[in-house]
């Protein structure tokens, strides 16, 4: 028997559908699998044989091109398809949205010629046939007599029964030229089959006819499976199941592609729908490029067939819905082209879709629809201040709240278990993932299905039902063990919808238009079917069903809809409503069934597109459709449509109820949520809601209004969620979320402000950041002031909330400026916060915008709590947020000193500008090192020289020693050893070797600072270190796995650590020992001056003033490019600069010192060492040590009842026995469930001691971020749960 295949969908390479699938029609031409093996059929039909008597392919161009020329193109040949090179070449170059392919097996007496090869074409139509017209030689003349001249002239071969059948079809069209509607094509196909059968009856023909026709006009595809008389053999082969490379990809909210094939071209039975005998299938396009697949029985009676009328009515509704305009929310970036490219490169990931003889459909349960399940759980806290003033409410832009990664393919369904705080997601990768809503971490990966998991449903929070392909599995949510498996069918297509009632009864809706009912099975059968002992999902049992489940075979349903009354399209959704089961169909209808036996009760019509979702609210049934509308049906009033809700601008993909019946909320929570809706609800609604909330029950429906719950949420493909009140008025488009969600959204907005203080071009952005914080503080009711003592510098945002002298005042410090984000390693846009796997990624999320907003929202929650209690907060709050922290903090001291009255009564300053020591355990920081950074400037010749000409004949600055002065500048900047030589840069070829080169001198000096094992060689550098600084921190870290030497080494990316090989000594080296680091070496080309001081000044012209850093050495800017000289000036002889001897070489040194050490003593030790070493070089260059920064170690004494500074300098150390630290520990323990680790930091934060001195109040450092937050580096991030819990700890 011949084989045919038709494809309709997005334009793609013909090779994707004709050549490359393992079970492609080309392979079927010599290895057809599904033979009926029926001796009652003619030999060439009933038994296996080759299809080698020719082939043909036909294809249509794009819609735009078909407007000018609607005719298709064809390629035919009488050679075997498997051996035709031209077919392979053409198929790899032609892209088409609709393809016909046919391989031929000529029956005896039929000529082998191209005229007899399929498909046949006339005008805009393509036609092909798989089968035979019984007694064709006897009825051919009578058939021809009935044809019009135009239909007669269309016959391409009078030998072919297929060509004549095509003419009979054309004869029943009202016009052969004009485009016809899908229902006209369906009726013409019905009439053609009726005509053939009538002529056979008139001529007394009793031979078997297989009228499997496929026809298309380029837009609609019509296919039939018709057998007369029926042979009784309705089986399909199964040997195809062993092979499959291509498979369905489930993507959006409906079928995008469909195949019609004689036998499957993929290996999974659930990819295909076996079209029943004597059925006509119509595949047509809906709005948005989706495909509607409707089927009806073929009627030979002249009396109008009800099912055919049903299809015609549905097609008319779909045609009207095509005119509905939609607004895409997510821009599809040339989606068709992407699919074509994907198809040509990755055949195994092909997004196919289903249709008949076998029908393959590309279906997907909308992820966007399922997202409303998530929204439903949180909207109760977020629907604050709703207004119904205008007809069209204000639309709040939908933003990505968080991104969870882990699924390898598209996410198809979501369900939330609020009591357990879990989110379940299913995917095309055949897995289900369980996520914790608190930390957004993956709790478990559930495997067992082999097909995309399209449906999820929870029952009682303990059982999770999943549907994939044609199978349903039941899982225990505590152990994630599979308790039962039900195989629903073969060749019925994937399960499109699933409903589980309270007693465990399962209803499933299939692609094949049926609804099936399965009663629960017994415990023993469930355990046996799952392959493991487990808890049954219901105590009820049915013998046959239990046996089938245990055997793993197809289980017959306990009830099923009958085709004569069922849908004529796929079943998209199911919902229980009173004693009914309601189904949403792709045929534009909603059908109401009796739950007990699935007998049809009523058909609800009115939609102009596929019905995608349903919701039962009391006696009301809501249906959402592809026509952008929601219809409200009253089941108590004879299923009357009470209201049509409009407003969405694209498909309505999900409906959910928001009210007191939702699980997971307490009565007080619900009362608080409902009390906030007073502005959005009518007075009656508000009173009803408030009374119900107080009683802890769902409100009863008032006359003419919605039954409980009070609110309905609808999600649309236009990207919005609309909330509807009890009188069906849209209250708002997408309300805001909870306090935590608001915090995350605020951080997203804050990160988008590019407040890079070091970049003068972004000064306006920094001002935006200051104003953003000002607005937030003003919204709290705070008095706000912007202090800017220096023009051109970013202002300090000061805020004061409350001035009651009887109350204590707590101050918060933070900064709103950020580091540049120019590293090429960023995986996301640094100024567009992205939430991935529980982390908020973007510049400033951890340093320091996230902690700043956490402070503000903590205060907001505190005020809300006291306000709800009817009292004022017994606390004053002060805020100081600077905008130059990353660029020297110039103006911060002056701003605070000029406004000390705002902070004079502060008893505590809270700072969150440090990080944890590890990843998992919260910390409290109780000590930090001090810091001095300096520069060593080595000056030589007056200009840079050529290394070849002049190298080696003079003392080079990079290798020189100190001759002249060392200047100490008591400002916050850096230690810069600088060696100066000639007055200008020289050419190494012309001048090298005739003088001391500054770079060589500097390198020797810097090399003298460290000895073997990286030990510091500066005499006296390790003196005066207080012993036992690590004792407090080691008490918590000694038995903790939070810090690992191996992980630390790998994290910093070094081959070996120089510290002693144990954790204690390593941390002691990092936190409690002085260090000396060479952090940079630079050269300058600023010519014209021979003075070493002027050269050093030129070198330092681009230096930023010190910004207190918390992660290591203060980072002085590069000479060139940080203001002053052009970045490229030092590379004027080429980027590699191999030929230039610099006149000045500067090395940057960072000193870290610890409690009891004196920074002045350390500088003197360094100065003496440099002078001594420089004299040994006998260099004529000049060396200069410039101290640009001094930030002493910082330590606090908390042995009294409050933090106090007790030592010289700015170091800080805390005693955990103090009252403040005990309070902080309790807050951390309460929020994280474990005590914090007490840690020190090797970095320096002079601002802490500066604030302590100015305000006379101790500082308390509460780290929020983890050690892997990448502050100052690419891919900076902050874990979402750290942000939220950090806010709660502050609160």
Do strands 906-911 and 1259-1261 pair parallel, antiparallel, or not at all (unpaired)?
parallel
CB 339 within 8 A of CB 227: no
CB 1112 within 8 A of CB 1124: no
Q: What is the DSSP letter of 1117?
A: P
Q: What length does the chain have? A: 1291
From 23, 53, 436, 432, select the one nearest 238 (Cα to Cα). Answer: 23
Supply angle C-alpha 232, 237, 239, rounded to 5. Answer: 165
CB 360 within 8 A of CB 271: yes
CB atoms within 10 A of CB 102: 29
Tell me which residue has tokens 């103006």.
891
Q: Is 188 exposed, middle or buried (0-12, 13-18, 19+ CB in 10 A)?
A: buried
Residue spans of the chain under pLDDT 50: 35-37, 47, 233-245, 327-391, 397-398, 523-552, 660-709, 735-736, 945-974, 1085-1136, 1189-1190, 1192-1209
Contacts of 47 (CB under 8 A, 6+ apart): 35, 37
DSSP sequence for 318-357: HHHHTT-----SS--SSHHHHHHHHHHH-GGG--B-B-SB
Q: Phi, psi at residue 884, to the nearest 5°?
A: -130, 20
Query: Burial code of 1076-1096, b = ≥16 C-beta within 10 A, e = fewer?
Result: bbbbbbbbbbbbebbebbbbb
Dist. CA 141–CA 280, nearest whole Å: 26
H or E element at residue 254:
none
Which whole-number Å values give the CA distances from 473 to 232, 466, 549, in the listed order? 34, 5, 11
Q: Is 1055 exposed, middle or buried (0-12, 13-18, 19+ CB in 10 A)?
A: exposed
Cis peptide before 516 (omega within 30 of 0): no
Dist. CA 639–CA 632, nearest whole Å: 9
How does pLDDT run across 267-311, given as a tens digit for each residue?
Answer: 666 677 888 888 898 998 887 778 888 888 887 876 667 777 888
Structure tokens at 22: 């393992």
Supply angle C-alpha 1243, 1249, 1251, rounded to 5. Answer: 125
Residues 2, 482, 962, 1130: which is the catalytic one?
2
CB 1152 within 8 A of CB 930: yes
Dist. CA 277–CA 36, nearest whole Å: 14
Tell me which residue has tokens 């091109």.
65
Going 547 to 551 to 552 to 556, the CA torsion angle's sign is: negative
Contacts of 1226 (CB under 8 A, 6+ apart): none
Going 660 to 664 to 667 to 670, the CA torsion angle's sign is: negative
| Helix/strand/coil for 200 | helix
CB 611 within 8 A of CB 340: no
Dist. CA 894–CA 905, nearest whole Å: 19
How big is the chain by its Cα radius of gyration, in Å?
39
Structure tokens at 1031: 């004792």
Residue 320 CA neighbour count, 13 Å, CB half: 12
Residue 342 CA neighbour count, 13 Å, CB half: 15
H or E element at residue 606:
none
Active site residue 2: yes
**pLDDT at position 364:** 34
Going 21 to 22 to 25 to 26, the CA torsion angle's sign is: positive
Cis peptide before 1136 (omega within 30 of 0): no
To the nearest 10 degrees (0 to 180), the angle between helices 667-675 and 683-695 is 170
CB 439 within 8 A of CB 835: no
Supply angle C-alpha 862, 866, 872, rounded to 5. Answer: 110
DSSP sequence for 984-1001: B-EETTTSBTSBEEHHHH
Spell out the SS3 assignment of 1045-1071: HHHHHHHHCCCCCCCCCCHHHHHHHHH
Dist. CA 1012–CA 897, nearest whole Å: 47
**pLDDT at position 223:** 93
Dist. CA 100–CA 1, nearest whole Å: 17
Contacts of 1031 (CB under 8 A, 6+ apart): none
Which residues are paired to 1278 by β-bridges? 840
Q: What is the DSSP letter of 308?
A: H
Dist. CA 328–CA 320, nearest whole Å: 19
Do strands 600-604 and 1075-1084 pair parallel, antiparallel, or not at all (unpaired)?
unpaired
């Amino acid at each position: 028997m011949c084989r045919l295949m038709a494809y309709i969908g997005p334009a793609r390479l013909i090779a994707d559908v004709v050549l490359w699938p393992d079970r492609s029609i080309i392979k079927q031409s010599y290895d057809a699998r599904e033979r009926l093996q029926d001796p009652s059929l003619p030999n060439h039909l009933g038994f296996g044989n080759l299809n080698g008597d020719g082939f043909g392919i036909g294809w249509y161009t794009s819609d735009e091109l078909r407007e000018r020329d609607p005719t298709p193109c064809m390629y035919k040949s009488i050679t075997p398809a498997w051996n035709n090179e031209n077919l392979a070449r053409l198929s790899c170059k032609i892209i088409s949205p609709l393809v016909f392919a046919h391989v031929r097996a000529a029956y005896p007496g039929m000529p082998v010629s191209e005229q007899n090869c399929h498909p046949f074409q006339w005008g805009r139509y393509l036609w092909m046939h798989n089968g035979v017209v019984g007694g064709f030689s006897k009825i051919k003349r009578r058939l021809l007599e009935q044809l019009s001249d135009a239909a007669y002239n269309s016959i391409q071969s009078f030998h072919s029964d297929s060509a004549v059948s095509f003419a009979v079809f054309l004869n029943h069209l009202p016009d052969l030229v004009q485009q016809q509607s899908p229902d006209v094509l369906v009726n013409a196909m019905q009439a053609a089959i009726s005509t053939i059968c009538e002529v056979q009856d008139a001529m007394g023909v009793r031979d078997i006819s297989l009228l499997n026709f496929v026809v298309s006009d380029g837009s609609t595809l019509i296919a039939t499976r018709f057998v007369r008389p029926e042979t009784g053999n309705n089986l399909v082969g199964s040997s195809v199941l062993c092979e499959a490379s291509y498979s369905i990809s489930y993507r959006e909210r409906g079928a995008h592609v469909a195949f019609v094939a004689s036998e499957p071209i993929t290996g999974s039975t659930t990819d295909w729908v076996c079209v029943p005998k004597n059925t006509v299938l119509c595949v047509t396009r809906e709005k948005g490029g989706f495909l509607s697949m409707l089927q009806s029985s073929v009627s030979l009676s002249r009396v109008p067939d009800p099912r055919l009328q049903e299809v015609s009515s549905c097609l008319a509704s779909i045609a009207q819905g095509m005119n509905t305009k939609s607004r895409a929310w997510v821009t599809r970036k040339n989606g068709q082209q992407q699919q074509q490219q994907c198809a040509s490169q990755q055949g195994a990931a092909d997004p196919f879709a289903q249709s008949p003889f076998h029908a393959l459909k590309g279906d997907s349960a909308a992820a966007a629809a399922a997202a409303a399940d998530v929204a439903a759980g949180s909207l109760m806290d977020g629907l604050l201040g709703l207004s119904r003033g205008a007809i069209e409410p204000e639309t709040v832009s939908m933003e990505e709240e968080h991104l969870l990664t882990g699924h390898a393919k598209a996410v198809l369904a979501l369900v939330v278990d609020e009591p357990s705080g879990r989110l379940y997601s299913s995917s095309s990768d055949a897995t289900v993932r369980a996520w914790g809503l608190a930390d957004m971490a993956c709790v478990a990966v559930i495997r067992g299905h082999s097909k995309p998991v399209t449906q999820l449903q929870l029952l009682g929070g303990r059982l999770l039902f999943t549907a994939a392909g044609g199978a349903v599995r039941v899982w225990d949510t505590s152990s994630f063990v599979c308790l039962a498996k039900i195989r629903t069918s073969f060749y019925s297509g994937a399960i499109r919808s699933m409903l589980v009632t309270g007693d465990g009864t399962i209803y499933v809706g299939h692609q094949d238009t049926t609804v099936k009912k399965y009663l629960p099975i017994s415990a023993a059968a469930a355990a046996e079917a799952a392959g493991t002992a487990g808890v049954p999902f219901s105590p009820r049992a049915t013998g046959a069903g239990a046996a089938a489940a245990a055997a793993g075979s197809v289980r017959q349903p306990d009830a099923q809809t009958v085709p004569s009354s069922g849908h004529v399209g796929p079943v998209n959704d199911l919902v229980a409503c009173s004693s009914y089961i309601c189904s949403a169909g792709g045929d534009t209808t909603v059908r109401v069934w009796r739950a007990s036996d699935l007998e049809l009760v009523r058909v609800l019509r009115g939609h102009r597109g596929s019905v995608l979702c349903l919701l039962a609210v009391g006696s009301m049934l809501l249906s959402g459709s592809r026509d952008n509308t929601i219809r409200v049906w009253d089941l108590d009033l004879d299923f009357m449509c009470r209201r049509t809700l409009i407003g969405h601008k694209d498909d309505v993909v999900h409906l959910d109820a928001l009210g007191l019946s939702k699980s997971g909320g307490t009565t007080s929570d619900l009362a608080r949520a409902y009390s906030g809706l007073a502005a959005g609800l009518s007075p009656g609604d508000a009173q009803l809601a408030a009374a119900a909330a107080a009683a802890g029950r769902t409100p009863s429906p008032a006359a003419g209004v919605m039954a409980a719950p009070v609110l309905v949420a609808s999600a649309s493909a236009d990207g919005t969620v609309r909330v509807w009140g009890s009188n069906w008025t849209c209250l708002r488009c997408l309300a805001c979320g909870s306090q935590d969600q608001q915090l995350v959204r605020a951080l997203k907005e804050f990160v988008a402000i590019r407040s890079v203080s070091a970049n003068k071009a972004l000064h306006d952005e920094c001002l935006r950041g200051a104003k953003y914080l000002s607005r937030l503080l003003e919204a709290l009711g705070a008095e706000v002031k912007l202090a800017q003592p220096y023009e051109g510098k970013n202002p300090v945002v000061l805020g004061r909330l409350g001035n009651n002298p009887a109350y204590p005042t707590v101050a918060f410090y933070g900064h709103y400026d950020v580091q540049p984000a120019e590293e090429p390693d960023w995986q996301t846009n640094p100024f567009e916060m992205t939430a991935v796997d529980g982390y908020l990624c973007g510049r400033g999320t951890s340093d320091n915008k996230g902690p700043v907003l956490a402070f503000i929202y903590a205060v907001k929650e505190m005020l809300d709590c006291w306000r709800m209690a009817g009292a004022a907060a017994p606390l004053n709050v002060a805020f100081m947020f600077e905008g130059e922290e990353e660029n020297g903090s110039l103006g911060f001291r002056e701003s605070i000193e000029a406004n000390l009255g705002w902070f004079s009564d502060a008893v505590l300053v809270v700072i969150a500008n440090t990080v944890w020591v590890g990843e998992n355990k919260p910390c409290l920081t109780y000590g930090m090192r001090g810091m001095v950074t300096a520069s060593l400037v080595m000056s030589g010749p007056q200009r840079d020289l050529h290394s070849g000409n002049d190298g080696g004949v003079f003392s080079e600055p990079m290798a020189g020693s100190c001759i002249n002065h060392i200047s100490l500048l008591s400002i916050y900047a850096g230690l810069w050893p600088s060696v100066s030589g000639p007055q200008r840069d020289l050419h190494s070829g012309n001048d090298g070797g005739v003088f001391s080169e500054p770079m060589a001198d500097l390198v020797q000096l810097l090399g003298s600072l460290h000895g073997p094992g990286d030990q510091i060689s500066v005499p006296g550098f390790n003196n005066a270190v207080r012993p036992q600084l690590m004792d407090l921190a080691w008490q918590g870290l000694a038995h903790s796995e939070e810090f690992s030497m191996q992980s630390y080494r790998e994290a910093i990316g070094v081959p070996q650590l120089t510290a002693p090989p144990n954790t204690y000594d390593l941390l002691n080296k990092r936190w409690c020992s002085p260090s000396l680091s060479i952090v940079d070496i630079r050269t300058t080309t600023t010519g014209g001056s021979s003075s070493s001081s002027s050269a050093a000044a030129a070198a330092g012209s681009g230096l930023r003033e010190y910004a207190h850093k918390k992660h290591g050495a203060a980072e002085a800017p590069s000479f060139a490019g940080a203001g002053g000289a052009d970045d490229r000036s030092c590379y004027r002889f080429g980027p590699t600069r191999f030929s230039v001897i610099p006149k000045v070489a500067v090395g940057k040194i960072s000193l870290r010192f610890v409690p009891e050490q004196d920074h002045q003593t350390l500088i003197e030790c360094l100065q003496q060492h440099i002078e001594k070493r420089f004299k040994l070089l006998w260099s004529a260059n000049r060396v200069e040590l410039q101290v640009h920064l001094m930030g002493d170690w910082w330590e606090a004494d908390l042995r009294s009842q409050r933090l106090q500074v007790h030592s010289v300098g700015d170091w800080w150390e805390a005693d955990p026995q103090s009252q403040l630290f005990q309070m902080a520990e309790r807050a951390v323990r309460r929020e994280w469930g474990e005590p914090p680790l007490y840690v020190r930091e090797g970095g320096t934060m002079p601002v802490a001691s500066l604030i302590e001195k100015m305000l006379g109040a101790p500082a308390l450092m509460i780290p929020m971020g983890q050690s892997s937050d990448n502050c100052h580096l690419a891919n900076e991030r902050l874990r979402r749960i750290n942000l939220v819990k950090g806010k709660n700890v502050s609160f």
